[in-house]
Amino acid sequence: MKTYKELNEVIYSDRLKNGLTVKMIPKKGYHSVYAVLFTEFGSIDHEFIPRGEKKYQTFPYGVAHFLEHKLFETRAGDISQVFSAQGASINAYTSNTKTVFLCSFTKNKRQNIETLLDFVQEPFFSDQSVEDEKSIISQEILMYKDDPDWILTQGLIENLYPDHPVRIDVAGTSESVESITLDMLNKNYLTFYHPDNLQMVLVGNIDPVETLQWIKHNQGKKFYPKPMKIERMINTKSGKPVTKSRNITVSVNLAKVSVGVKGHCFELGEKEAFRHILCMEILLDLLFGETSANYLSLYDKNLIDDSFSYDYIFERGFDYVSIGGDSRLPKELAETIQTILLNSSQNPDMTPAHFSLVKKKMIGESIQSLNSLGYIAQEFVDQPFSELTIFDYLSVLKSISFEELQHVAKDFFRADQMSVFTVDPKRQ
């Protein structure tokens, strides 16, 4: 149990005998419960040693996403209907590094928690169902390829990581999906869905002692082999340089542009990583947030509109910054963003006074966000650290100095790691 007196929050944690990690955050005054079950298994995990074997095997891209789809199909039918009958909603997604199953409900707590565990832990695959799923996912892939925002995001990632598995979309390609077999799914499932690689997070109207008893009873009826260390192989040491600039022509009304900066911080230890992520969030808000002179200037010059955004992605195996949006003058916008980043130390927005203002704003937003059960649960997924959590955000944020931020900016924003990807409108 970990207590945060200042925030009046408590985390109850336990690691079951089979390896399943359970984290519970009871919230008084709430009626609903937000439950998440996730595995550290995503699209980049396509080369590993399967459970019970000794050699590395390479699997087609898209297996993790394919498995997520197939788990919803049980012997009794679509599990979504079962949750609906129990007064719950269920959803799921696959990212580059995780597969996540999310459930929310206000009643039938034990029933919904056990259903969430059971459908993920008791898969039902058949050769025919695997073949049937291929066309569904292929259609999904084609749909993504028609989405200009997806094209922009994926194009920038391909620029930054030309030989990293993250360059391939989470769903894979039509060719890779077609080559997936039942045997491949079973090998991936047995390796990555062992309880030792699973975490369950519950936030809301729960009794942690009673809830843990339910989970232990559920897991006690299931039998698993001993936990093992998962041996993955991910090419994080790129042999190819960042692609500096690339564009594609698509049927859009307005051009889209994204400036990216490839990072080198994904191997930081837990405490250093947590602090670094916060530093990057402050930096981007300082330079491009709505309180910045840069933002007002870009807006006044008609270089950006309300689609403008910025983000720092920090994952197992990679990290990068992306900044951009729709623009009537994409080339000028990209050049301006790069100039701001490379000259951040001299930028008028990089001042102690503005730094103090942004920190206060972020502290307020953080406190407000703790009212959202879904936000809290999602933060435990996005940053599944063993020691630090979203409740440590405030104390770490307050301890970051302006000088530290200047050092991070100088170290991260490097010209040789920058890239621009543009989606241009087709000329009529």
pLDDT in tens, 186-226: 999 999 999 999 999 999 999 999 999 999 999 999 999 99
Sorting pLDDT into bands at 50, 70 and 90, what band is 144?
confident
pLDDT digits (tens, 9 = 90+) for 271-323: 999 999 999 999 999 999 999 999 999 999 999 999 999 999 999 999 999 99
pLDDT tens-digit readout, 380-424: 999 888 889 999 999 999 999 999 999 999 999 999 999 999 999
Q: Which of 9, 68, 210, 404 is catalytic?
A: 68
DSSP output for 113-176:
HHHHHHHHHS----HHHHHHHHHHHHHHHHHHHT-HHHHHHHHHHHHH-TTSGGGS-TT--HHH
Q: Evaluate if residue 74 carries a pLDDT over 90.
A: no
Element (H, E) at 256: strand 255-262
Give the Cβ contact number of residue 376 at 10 Å.
Answer: 22
Decide if 68 is catalytic. Answer: yes
> Which pLDDT value is given to residue 428?
59
> Mind giving me the DSSP string for 281-340?
HHHHHHHHSTTSHHHHHHHHTTS--TT-EEEEEEETTEEEEEEEEEESSHHHHHHHHHHH
- Name the pairing type of β-strands 33-39 and 47-48: unpaired
pLDDT value of position 313: 97
User: What pLDDT, on the 0 to 100 scale, is given for residue 402?
Assistant: 97
Task: Identify the weakest region by mean pLDDT among 4-8, 81-85, 201-205.
Answer: 4-8
Q: What percent of the chain has pLDDT above 90?
A: 91
Answer whether residue 67 shows pLDDT above 80: yes
Q: Check residue 206 and give its pLDDT.
A: 97
pLDDT at residue number 76:
78
Place of tokens 């979203």: 390
Read off the pLDDT of each residue in 22-31 and give the average, rounded to a whole number. Answer: 95
Q: Tokens 């920058």 map to which residue?
A: 418
**Average pLDDT value over all residues in the chain:** 95
Taking each helix axis from N to C end, the angle separating 127-145 and 148-160, rounded to the nearest 10 degrees, works out to: 90
Q: How far apart are CA 403 and CA 409, in angstroms?
A: 10
